[in-house]
Amino acid sequence: MSNKRLQHPFWDINNPFLWNSEEERHLRANDRAFNLQFDYAKNSIKTSKYNVFTFLPLNLFEQFQRIANAYFLFLLILQLIPAISSLSWFTTVVPLVLVLAVSAAKDAIDDVNRHQSDKQVNNRPVKVLVNGSLKEDLWMNVEVGDIIKLENNNFVTADLLLLSSSEPHSLTYIETVELDGETNLKVKQALTVTAELGEDLQALSSFDGEVRCEAPNNRLDRFMGTLVFKRQKYPLDNEKMLLRGCTIRNTDWCFGLVIFAGPDTKLMQNSGRTTFKRTSIERLMNFLVLVIFVFLAALCLILALGHSIWEYHKGYYFQVYMPWADEVHSSFFSAFLIFWSYVIILNTLVPISLYVSVEIIRLGNSFYIDWDRKMYYSPSDMPAQARTTTLNEELGQIKYIFSDKTGTLTQNIMVFNKCCINGTSYGDVLDSKGQRVEISESTSKVDFSENPLADPKFVFYDHSLLEAVKRGDNATHKFFRLLSLCHTVMPEEKKKGALVYQAQSPDEGALVTAARNFGFVFRARTPETITVVEMGETVVYELLAILDFNNVRKRMSVIVRSPMGKLTLYCKGADTILYERLHPSCGCLKEKTTIYLDEFAGEGLRTLVVAYKNLEESYFEDWQMRHYEASIALDNREEKLSLLYEDIEKDLMLLGATAVEDKLQDGVPQTIDILGKAKIKIWVLTGDKQETAVNIGYSCNMLYDDMRDIFIIQGKTSQEVEEELRKARKKMNPEAFVDDRELDIHVRKPGGSKVLLDEEPNAEYGLVINGYSLAHALEGPLQLELVRTACLCKAVICCRVTPLQKAQVVELVKRHKDAVTLAIGDGANDVSMIKTAHIGVGISGQEGMQAVLSSDFSFAQFRYLQRLLLVHGRWSYLRMCKFLAYFFYKNFTFTLVHFWYGFFSGFSAQTVYDEWFITLYNMVYTSLPVLGMSLFDQDVNDRWSLQFPQLYEPGQQNLYFNKMEFVKCTLYSVYSSLVLFFVPYGTMFDSLRTDGKAISDYQSFALMAQTCLLIVVSVQMGLDTAYWTAVNQLFIWGSLAVYFVITFTMYSNGTYLIFTASFPFVGTARNTLNQPAVWLSVSLCVALCVLPVVGFRFLKTQLRPTISDKVLAEVQTLRLPPPSPKHCLRRGSSRRSGYAFSHQYGFGALITSGRNMRPRSPFNLSGSFSPNALRRHK
């Protein structure tokens, strides 16, 4: 049977920004034979790359795809050809084998870890329905079409179609923290036809429904398909699916049909294909290697031409003394062979040890991140982790950060912080003089021990509010009664008195919990009643209607009848909405409440206004009849219901306002503030509503009232969005604004892509754009407008965005801005964004680890990001730049001495140094000093790095190592090589020892040249080292000592007698290095090479100091221990709404329908909390 095609597009995971048509999935329940014909993936996952048999060939194949490794293999082959070999084979084999072995060991360790992770997941237990009974099996053995049983707190094994559950109407509660980072519960419901199967194993085994649905894709919020069962077709959507990565909560058991397994699940599809990330420095290094290859070819060509000319005019006549090889018959062919000989000799222009050293430096700097105790989160025993070792230096160049909100900036925990009741504010702690006191750990907490149903985790500090409740203040009682009634929370009381609230949004949970602790305990609900324990006495209200929340209404109401028969409407919502519906008599109270609302909003709290209205029985009966007629209308039902809600929700009596803190992770405002000072721009990409996202923006100091303007982009069409974006950009940068749309794009085109130049705004601005407008802005012609406008802003917030849009926004900035990006998140919905950015960071510590598994770096708290970037990132970038500059310098200088020597040796491809010195120069004599600097160097310590975030800017501008710095390094190397060749040459030319014997021989010259070279590069290393440690001292002085020990040993009589052919420089060291003229020349070389550098650096610091020079001068001037960073955070003062409410539409209808109610009462209503179980409400 062949698969059919669906008519709608899906996102191609292999190329996340191309859409394609995919084939549909067709399966039959309990029929493996039928499903096997389609060859669907099993539930096992594999993230490893190798096995025992494929490791060696695959790894070597991958390594020789690197141009450097292939180049050195080519050199080795050349060295095995006697006619052109000018160096022994071991000079290339030893370093090449070392490089391959180190890289292979690192790859093997990484793959073993992946194997272990795969094994742990694949071997989780699960119950599979087989032939009418449940069989214990492993996750890896589950296949498409299987029916499995899950129990409370189980992870969902695969993407399942929910069939039945233990809850009424087969509802199932799930937690999706691993998918989206949210901890609030979500509800899924099975089809009625499958819900009837219950837990009857025989009925489930005989279930043979056929499912046709969409192909595997990464859309977490969407599923389309149909179920055919008993010749009836039923529609399937996302509300009936349990996705892998979710956790079953508050549901004893449920059964599900496997639709997607293993790599086809939406969780794994969001993981995508791991792309190999390269840093900008690595890309520059690869480019420079190609330039060096061209440079090398040019040098070899010059020397080969010189050889041809010399042989033609001179060598041809000296064949009696220096005969040509048998195969050489002309000077041209001799020059051709000499060309390849010089390729071998000058190969140290691109030393293979460069790549080994880079890997070691990155590995060492990764260990610093892993070992940093200041990034260790003790509550969850979670250290920071560098999950990749190839991106460290790019952490020092970040210009844009893209962050998720829920679980990343916030803890997804709402705390009832303050309130305003009848014009009086509660929540602040005041001293005896009436001055506000900062709350600390020593501040006295309100004692709720008299309330046996109080939540012990609830904390409040203002004692006056509890006192107002106890003395029977009427307004206060009405306020908390409203909070205990106006909501859609579900209570759970498995043990008597141990209440647990299941709230659809954490906002509601916080408000109902506050009412509970202040004596108004929401205890139980049915579709028709709400039971509240008011000040110790149980009261049952009749629930007549729930006027549900939606994004347009921005409010919700309930209509209840008290035991005395009194009808009341209780309402809570946004201040901007409810203020329009207040009774005129509330004017004075409205002004007082507004003052406190402004204060709450300025502190970043999420506010709601609460009000009530007493209803006449006759009016309500008429309204109820009209409501029924509207609810069954076939046309314009939503509009008719909305008008009815408007009619009854007017002339409300204001009670006050609530202020809930969307609890940020510790240190988030301070972190964002210090990153802003480092010229890092932060964009928040969230699926939350605009009000919630903006509120968090103010709370965490991204947005503040000192900004000149905050633009809200909410156009419904492409034209509206374009107009709003252009209007915003014109205000931010009117000078650069050109009305001609073709001319209004300032770009350069490296590689064909349009890279926008940086523009400067005339002040600080913020930008907020919703998902609908963003969808238009991400379309072709508007992309550049979006990037130009958004990049002018100091902060950008994108609301209601999908995982795809998150990745598209990051890709857009990557493509059109010459900047390094970082994405940080904690859920599976952030994975595509994390993988798209140059650097991906996962927040660990929660159950949701999908983002961590896909990230490059991970830690437990957002605040650690400032240390990762400003300390570890900046140090890594600085060290890598110093390493590359010094490494190219020492190797160019070493190699170019060969070049100058060629002009004095008849271009004969004779080496100027001893072969053993050539072999050991990069691997022994100069490797440890440069590694010591690259692993330990720091211009300032970590405290000063955080105190002066401006030090981060040179990395963003890539000032420390770029093409111009490479040119400077090359010119300096040319100069140094001239000094290091001609000073020893002049010293040795026709010179005599102090005893009258000649030392102007090749071996003495070679020894002096290599000694001068090594001392000069060691002194240069000392100049480049800013932070001296015992290790640096040991490496530099130790390497020099090792050089002299090895030299005197290899040039000794004993070594010559044992290995005559290998060590021909017998006696050279003791005969040359005991001459004063030699050491005078060494000193002259050092002075000539080093003094110009010292002078240039001094003048540059005095005449054109960089920001780093200024900060370093200030640090040296202070000469005090760096202070702890202090951040004075901006607080808002102007009028803005602090409204934010994460409730979703539709939950009220679920409650009033009774579908989520158990048939049994959750507790005995005749409890002992009151002398009379039920009382009439006065």
Catalytically active residues, by annotation? 404
Q: Calculate the alpha carbon distances from 923 to 355, 357, 928, 1026 in Å.
A: 12, 10, 9, 24
CA 841, chain centre distance (Å)? 3
Alpha carbon distance 1089, 178 (integer Å): 59
Biggest alpha carbon–alpha carbon distance for the chain: 130
Contact of 439 with 494, CB cutoff 8 Å: no
End-to-end CA distance of the chain: 72
Which strand (E) or helix (H) includes residue 753?
none
Strands 398-403 and 709-713: unpaired
Alpha carbon distance 522, 531 (integer Å): 6
Q: What is the DSSP string of 302-330?
A: HHHHHHHHHHHHTGGGGTTTSPPPTT--S
Which strand (E) or helix (H) includes residue 609?
strand 606-615
Strands 681-685 and 795-799: parallel
Q: Residue 186: exposed, middle, or buried by beta-carbon count in 10 A (0-12, 13-18, 19+)?
A: middle
- 964-998 CB burial, b ≥16 within 10 A, e <16: ebbeebbebbeebbbbbbebbbebbeebebeeeee
Alpha carbon distance 521, 489 (integer Å): 12
Q: Calculate the alpha carbon distances from 164 to 160, 194, 196, 237, 247 in Å.
A: 11, 6, 7, 16, 16
Contact of 722 with 769, CB cutoff 8 Å: no
Q: What is the DSSP string of 824-865?
A: EESSGGGHHHHHHSSEEEEE-SSS--HHHHT-SEEES-TTHH
Strands 10-11 and 19-20: antiparallel
Residues 6+ apart with CB under 8 A from 43: 122, 139, 140, 141, 142, 143, 157, 158, 258, 261, 262
Residue 92, phi-psi category: left (phi > 0), alpha (psi -120 to 50), beta (remainder): alpha
SS3 letters across 340-374: HHHHHHHHHHCCCHHHHHHHHHHHHHHHHHHHCHH
| Nearest Cα residue to 572 out of 603, 591, 604, 546 | 546
Measured at the CA of 1037, the angle between CA 1035 and CA 1038, to 5 degrees, comes to 60
- DSSP 8-state code for residue 417: E
| Nearest Cα residue to 916 out of 1085, 1049, 1073, 1036 | 1049
- DSSP 8-state code for residue 239: G
Alpha helices in 80-216 (DSSP H): 90-122, 177-180, 192-195, 201-205
Strands 185-189 and 681-685: unpaired
Tokens of 154: 């189980």
The SS3 assignment for 296 reads: helix
- The Cβ-side half-sphere exposure at 594, using a 13 Å CA radius, reads 12
- The Cβ-side half-sphere exposure at 916, using a 13 Å CA radius, reads 14
Which strand (E) or helix (H) includes residue 593?
helix 587-602
Q: Calculate the alpha carbon distances from 319 to 331, 907, 1099 in Å.
A: 12, 16, 56
